[in-house]
Amino acid sequence: MAFPAISNLNQSPFFNTAHSEGNVGSNQFGFYLAGTGSELYLGGTDNSHYSGDIEFHDVSPATGFWQISGAKALVGSTTAVSGFQTIIDSGTTIMYGPPAAVETFYSKVPGSELFDAANGYYSFPCSSVPSVSFSWGSQNWEITAAK
């Protein structure tokens, strides 16, 4: 689902080609991620899997990534860090950022501590999982163990 700028094959990725050839209804896609029955919806979204409005943001295909500016990370209702760039990537299992911003973020998480200074890993007590969300404008998107 990446942009051509990072294609290892120096070819247009599948979805870009499908859109340019008129094989999908719109230049949008959506993921429904679940324990079972996950879906990739090409050419729009399947509104049976969500409620409310979709929040759209401009991205530049020049970087090759789904990169959005103006993000903020919240712990509870407190903004821990703001004004940073994010890359939304369905193909990775990690979150990382500049060390100073990560340190600032975890300073707002009760009970957190630096677990591995060499790699910048932090931990927090499993008995008090923090409420964490990200925002790019109009809505806070909560990250939970269930989501």
- Give the span between the Cα atoms of 124 and 144, in whole angstroms: 14
Q: Is the pLDDT of residue 147 over 60?
A: no
Please tell me whether residues 70 and 40 are part of one structural domain: no
Q: Return mean pLDDT, the chain.
A: 89
Please tell me whether residues 42 and 71 are part of one structural domain: no
- Give the span between the Cα atoms of 133 and 141, in whole angstroms: 5
Number of compact structural domains in the chain: 2
Q: Is residue 87 part of a domain?
A: yes
Q: What is the mean pLDDT of residues 68-73?
A: 92
Please tell me whether residues 15 and 83 are part of one structural domain: no
Task: Record the pTM.
Answer: 0.78
Q: Is residue 115 part of a domain?
A: yes
Reported as a single tens digit per residue, the pLDDT across 41-66 is 999 999 999 888 888 888 888 888 88
Q: Is residue 58 part of a domain?
A: no
Q: Which amino acid is at 34?
A: A
Please tell me whether residues 79 and 105 are part of one structural domain: yes
Reported as a single tens digit per residue, the pLDDT across 9-43 is 889 999 999 999 999 989 999 998 888 999 999 99
Please tell me whether residues 31 and 93 are part of one structural domain: no
Q: Is residue 59 part of a domain?
A: no
| Contact assessment for residue 44 and residue 28, using Cβ atoms and an 8 Å cutoff | yes
Please tell me whether residues 108 and 43 are part of one structural domain: no
Please tell me whether residues 30 and 76 are part of one structural domain: no
